């Protein structure tokens, strides 16, 4: 062994000095970026975490660098000496070196901007951004001076290249070697990325319960490719689980207690009867889902900046839910929850997953009741797979492409202004009304999103000055929409549901901080709803069954969400999560299910830990597992399909069951 190592040092290691230089530069860049993110996030960190962050970060930086270096290692191991000593080799190395420096600097800039927006390293969102390049590139161009940024990156890369040129030249000087010698060295080096594939995943970045610390300790590029790999996660493989029948049985028990009578004792049959409490009310329903509207933007939740005067006024004259929670941190999660009334499944949302057609949805129910059903979006509906999902689940889809140019007065990367969207919505709702059918419309806004641009002169905050202006402009547009709707013949018989898709930021000091999922939920219909405040915990998955319950609809349901007016005040539940972490709020506790079958339980009152083995901890953890495991099982085994044989209510006899 001693002779082998001496042989490496004397003969073979020379041509791998280029690899050593690359590793030194990569790790230096990563160190600088990590330090920058620490400084940026310092109010959310403490000094006791620094050593863990840097040590863990160095570990992931080396692993990531070695993954990226595999082509270089193979080249240095197999290329003959004459190739590396040819006249073309040095210019090729120079070009590759400059390109590598440029990419590293560009990655650092991109990661900083991404962290500034989402308080995380690259993740599923970054993967999505590569898919939807048109909106993303346009958004970046509208938000930043790209010519200046790219020029600055190129200049800095050139300066650094010149500073490293002597080291580069030195790395190209080495004695001649034999192939067998080079292969021995190359194979030893390749063991690092090979073993990393087998033994290392993202779990080692969890250096504490502080989410900021965990994210900064990670490597952005490593997380990016991990997100591509983990676009769907098998629940039983990665999470604590029960026997499938036991999980479904527990879910059905919860459904039976909270939502309605079960149709059968079959463990896989989640159908339950919703009988209604009086004559059905064929009222119009308009769901306004507002982009990134955290509860703490609203004055009714204590905000003193007067950002939402219209929403505050509407909330005071509505059924106002004080404890509503989003299921996720992305628009597709909000759409999934409200449309399908199902907890989030790990990995991608159902909106973007394959085989998501003909599901049991709110739109399908309304269509079966004779409603004209529409999804109305101000951007391009192919984004997040919206048009496909809604178009195959009971909705007609209307997006930016259906709008005439004369009707678009303002737009940015994500779509038309909310004013233009709501003007289009009024026209579409009038068409539905004129057809003689009641209507159900799900409207998705876009303006509260970077680059935060909107028509000038509408509010007292100039366009493109930040999120507060975008929030206030969206509030203005909603107020105008309600005012315009009041002049329509269908207004008196319409229920307006205003809810956020998710919060503006989801990061916090701990995993899944509940306050970063707290959203407004307002149900407004002056002629039919008496204003009051509802304080029980509500999830986005409860919205559809609750509104249908208010309308006394009779149907056979496959929803997992509940009509919150059928539960006691202390029985409210909520589901919050990311593509990986799954949270369940119940009985004053937050359960977090994570990879490697980890379970964490905290008291909501003070966020202290609850022993999982304690009676209270065991019970709430089992409920969390049952809900999430069953949600995954139901989708994967197609148990929430609309086109499978359905049991429906006979209008004259709610106990009579017939096949659809």
pLDDT at position 124 is 65
For CA atoms 566, 570, 576, 581, the dihedral sign is negative
How large a percentage of the chain has pLDDT more than 70? Answer: 91
Q: How confident is the model at residue 651 (pLDDT cuts 50, 70, 90)?
A: very low
Final residue before a domain boundary, out of 197, 229, 261: 229
How much is the mean pLDDT over the chain? 88
Q: Is the pLDDT of residue 135 over 60?
A: no
Q: Is the pLDDT of residue 645 over 60?
A: no
Neighbouring-strand partners of residue 648: 658
Tokens of 137: 């590139």
Q: What is the pLDDT of residue 180?
A: 86
DSSP 609: B
* Same domain, residue pair 351 and 460: yes
Q: What is the pLDDT averaged over residues 34-56?
A: 92
Tens digits of residue pLDDT in 193-227: 999 888 888 778 888 878 789 889 999 898 888 87
Task: Give the distance from CA 572 to its chain's centroid.
Answer: 23
Distance, in Å, from the CA atom of 40 to the CA atom of 120, rounded to the nearest integer, reads 12
> 414 CB contacts (<8 Å, ≥6 apart)?
135, 139, 378, 379, 446, 447, 449
Confidence of residue 535 (pLDDT cuts 50, 70, 90): very high
> Could you give the CA distance from residue 326 to residue 575 in angstroms, rounded to a whole number?
7
**Residues in contact with 431: Cβ distance below 8 Å, sequence separation at least 6, in sequence order:** none
In eight-state DSSP terms, residue 515 is G
Look at residues 314, 256, 282 and name the one whose alpha carbon lies nearest to residue 520.
314
- How confident is the model at residue 321, as a pLDDT? 97
Mean pLDDT of 400-404: 93
Same domain, 140 and 255: no
Average pLDDT of span 167-190: 85
Q: Which of 509, 506, 507 is nearest to 49 (CA)?
A: 509
Structure tokens at 353: 């997953």
Q: Which residues of 262-276 are buried (b: 16+ CB within 10 A; e: fewer)?
A: bbeeeeeebbbbbeb
CA distance 193 to 62: 9
Q: Of all helices (H) and strands (E), which one includes residue 213?
A: helix 211-217
Please identify, among 168, 199, 229, the residue that sits at the C-terminal boundary of a domain. 229
Q: Please indicate, yes or no, whether residues 189 and 322 belong to a single structural domain of this protein.
A: no
> What is the arithmetic mean of pLDDT over 506-519?
82
Write the DSSP symbol of residue 219: -
- At residue 133, the pLDDT reads 56
Q: What's the gap between Cα 282 and its chain centre? A: 34
The predicted model gives 433-461 an average pLDDT of: 94
Choosing from 173, 205, 229, the residue where a domain stops is 229
Question: Is 0.85 surpassed by the pTM of this model?
Answer: no
Q: Tokens 């966020």 appear where?
A: 607
E strand or H helix that includes residue 67 = helix 50-68
As a whole number, mean pLDDT of residues 496-509 equals 86
Show the beta-strand stretches assigned E in 258-399. 261-262, 272-274, 284-290, 319-325, 372-377, 396-398
Residue 137: predicted pLDDT: 67
Alpha-carbon dihedral sign for residues 136, 141, 143, 148 = positive
pLDDT at 656 over 80: no
| Same structural domain, 187 and 89 | yes
Over residues 515-519, the mean pLDDT reads 96
User: Model confidence at 52, in pLDDT bands (50, 70, 90)?
Assistant: very high
Shared domain check, 217 and 244: no
Q: What is the pLDDT of residue 162?
A: 95
Q: Is residue 252 domain-shared with residue 110, that is, in the same domain?
A: no
Residues 6+ apart with CB under 8 A from 109: 149, 153
Write down the number of H helices and E strands in the chain. 22, 20
Inform me whether the pLDDT recorded for 500 exceeds 70.
yes
Residues 416 and 442 in one domain: yes
Residues 224 and 251 occupy one common structural domain: no
Which one has a higher pLDDT value, 607 or 117? 607
Query: Is the domain of 191 the same as that of 336?
Result: no
The pLDDT of 328-348, averaged and rounded, is: 94
Q: What band does 136 get if pLDDT is binned at 50, 70 and 90? A: low
Same domain, residue pair 329 and 369: yes
C-alpha–C-alpha distance, residues 441 and 513, integer Å: 32
Same domain, 216 and 358: no
- What is the domain count for the chain? 2
| Tens-digit pLDDT profile for residues 457-479 | 999 999 999 999 999 999 999 99
Over range 142-162, report the average pLDDT: 88
Say if residue 55's pLDDT is above 80: yes
pLDDT tens, position by position, 541-575: 999 999 999 999 999 999 999 999 988 777 789 99
CATH code, 276 = 3.40.720.10
What does the pLDDT look like over 236-286, one tens digit per residue? Answer: 878 899 999 999 999 998 888 766 688 888 888 999 999 888 899 999 999
Pairing of strands 598-603, 589-594: antiparallel
Q: What is the pLDDT of residues 488-499, one digit of tens each?
A: 999 999 999 999
312 SS3 class: helix
- 574-620 pLDDT per residue, tens: 999 988 889 999 999 999 998 778 999 999 998 898 999 899 899 99
- 220 in the same domain as 309: no
SS3 of residue 136 by DSSP: helix
Angle between helices 220-229 and 50-68 (to 10 degrees): 60
Q: Which residue segment(s) compose the domain that 24 sits in? A: 2-229
């Amino acid at each position: 062994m001693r002779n082998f190592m001496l042989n490496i040092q004397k003969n073979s290691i020379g041509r791998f000095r280029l690899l050593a230089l690359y590793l030194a530069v990569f790790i230096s860049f990563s160190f600088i970026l990590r330090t920058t993110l620490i400084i940026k996030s310092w109010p959310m960190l403490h000094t006791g975490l620094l050593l863990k962050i840097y040590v863990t970060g160095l570990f992931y930086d080396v692993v990531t660098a070695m993954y990226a270096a595999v082509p270089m290692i193979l080249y240095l191991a197999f290329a003959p000496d004459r190739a590396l000593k040819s006249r073309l080799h040095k210019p090729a190395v120079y070009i590759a070196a400059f390109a590598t420096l440029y990419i590293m600097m560009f990655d650092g800039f991109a990661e900083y901007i991404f962290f500034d927006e989402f308080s995380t390293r690259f993740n599923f969102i970054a993967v999505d951004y590569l898919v939807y390049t048109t909106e993303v590139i346009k958004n970046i161009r509208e938000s930043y001076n790209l010519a200046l940024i790219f020029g600055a990156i190129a200049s800095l890369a050139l300066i650094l290249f010149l500073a490293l040129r002597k080291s580069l030249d030195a790395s190209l000087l080495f004695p001649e070697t034999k192939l067998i010698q080079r292969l021995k060295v190359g194979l030893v080096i390749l063991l690092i990325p090979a073993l990393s594939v087998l033994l290392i995943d993202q779990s080692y970045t969890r250096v504490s319960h502080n989410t900021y610390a965990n994210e900064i300790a990670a490597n952005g590029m490593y997380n990016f490719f991990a997100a591509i790999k983990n676009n769907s996660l098998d629940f039983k493989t990665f999470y604590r689980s029960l026997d499938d029948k036991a999980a479904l049985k527990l879910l059905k028990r919860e459904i039976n207690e909270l939502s309605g009578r079960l149709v059968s004792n079959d463990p896989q049959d989640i159908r339950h009867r919703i009988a209604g409490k009086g004559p059905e009310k064929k009222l119009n329903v308009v769901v306004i889902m507002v982009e990134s509207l955290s509860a703490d933007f609203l004055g009714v939740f204590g905000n003193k900046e007067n950002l939402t005067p219209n929403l505050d006024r509407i909330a005071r004259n509505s059924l106002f839910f004080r404890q509503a929670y989003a299921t996720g941190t992305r628009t597709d999660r909000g759409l999934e929850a409200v449309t399908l009334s199902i907890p989030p499944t790990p990995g991608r949302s159902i909106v973007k997953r394959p085989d998501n057609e003909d599901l049991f949805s709110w739109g399908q129910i309304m269509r079966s009741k004779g409603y004209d059903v529409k999804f109305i979006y101000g951007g391009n509906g192919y984004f997040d797979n919206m048009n496909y999902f809604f178009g195959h689940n009971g909705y007609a889809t209307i997006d930016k492409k259906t709008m005439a140019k004369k009707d678009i007065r303002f737009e940015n990367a994500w779509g038309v202004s909310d004013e233009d969207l709501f003007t289009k919505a009024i026209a579409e709702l009038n068409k539905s009304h004129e057809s003689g059918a009641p209507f159900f419309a799900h409207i998705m806004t876009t303006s509260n999103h970077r680059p935060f641009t909107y028509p000038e002169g509408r509010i007292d905050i100039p366009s493109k000055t930040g999120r507060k202006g975008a929030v206030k402009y969206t509030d203005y547009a909603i107020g105008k929409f309600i005012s315009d709707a009041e002049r329509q013949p269908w207004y008196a018989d319409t229920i307006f549901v205003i809810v956020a898709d998710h919060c503006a930021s989801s990061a916090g000091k701990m995993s899944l901080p509940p306050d970063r999922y707290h959203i407004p939920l307002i149900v407004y219909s002056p002629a039919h709803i008496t204003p009051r405040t509802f304080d029980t915990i509500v999830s986005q998955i409860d919205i559809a069954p609750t509104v249908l319950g208010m309308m006394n609809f009779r149907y056979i349901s496959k929803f997992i969400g509940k009509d919150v007016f059928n539960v006691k005040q202390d029985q409210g539940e909520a589901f919050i999560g990311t593509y990986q972490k799954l949270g369940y709020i119940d009985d004053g506790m937050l359960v977090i299910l994570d990879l490697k079958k980890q379970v964490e339980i905290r008291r909501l009152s003070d966020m202290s830990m609850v022993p999982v083995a304690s009676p209270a901890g065991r019970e709430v953890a089992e409920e969390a597992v049952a809900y999430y495991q069953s949600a995954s099982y139901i989708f994967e085994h197609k148990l929430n399909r609309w086109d499978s044989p359905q049991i429906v209510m006979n209008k004259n006899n709610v106990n009579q069951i017939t096949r659809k």
